């Protein structure tokens, strides 16, 4: 019997890690975030905000390794041109 080990090409990035922020020249934004719907009951909003502020709920982004590779190549080419 042959056992084949699967190596995932999906990477999980958390807030605070280097690749979590997207850079586009002047604009910088996180890869993942939270959006609280307008339909959310008003009494729940402060509870959700507190949970986010205390890192009880954290944003994570899942990206393919190839996406990160292209991002790094694009950043390097921008540095060379500048």
Q: How far apart are CA 82 and CA 76, in angstroms?
A: 10
Could you give the CA distance from residue 13 to residue 31 in angstroms, rounded to a whole number?
A: 9
Each residue's pLDDT, cut to its tens digit, for the chain (82 residues) gives: 888 888 888 999 999 998 898 887 788 899 999 899 999 999 999 999 999 999 999 999 999 888 888 888 877 776 776 6
Length of the chain: 82
- Taking residue 13's Cβ as centre, other Cβ atoms within 10 Å add up to 19
What count of Cα atoms within 13 Å lies in the side-chain half-sphere of residue 46?
A: 2
Task: Estimate to the nearest angstrom the gap between the alpha carbon of 46 and the chain centroid.
Answer: 24
């Amino acid at each position: 019997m042959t056992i084949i080990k699967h190596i995932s090409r999906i990477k999980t990035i958390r807030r605070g890690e280097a690749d979590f922020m997207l850079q586009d020249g002047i604009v910088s934004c996180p890869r993942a975030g939270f959006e609280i719907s307008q339909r959310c009951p008003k009494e729940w909003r402060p509870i959700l905000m507190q949970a986010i502020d205390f890192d009880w709920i954290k944003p994570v982004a899942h990206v393919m390794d190839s996406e990160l590779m292209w991002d790094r190549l694009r950043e390097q080419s921008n540095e060379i041109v500048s």
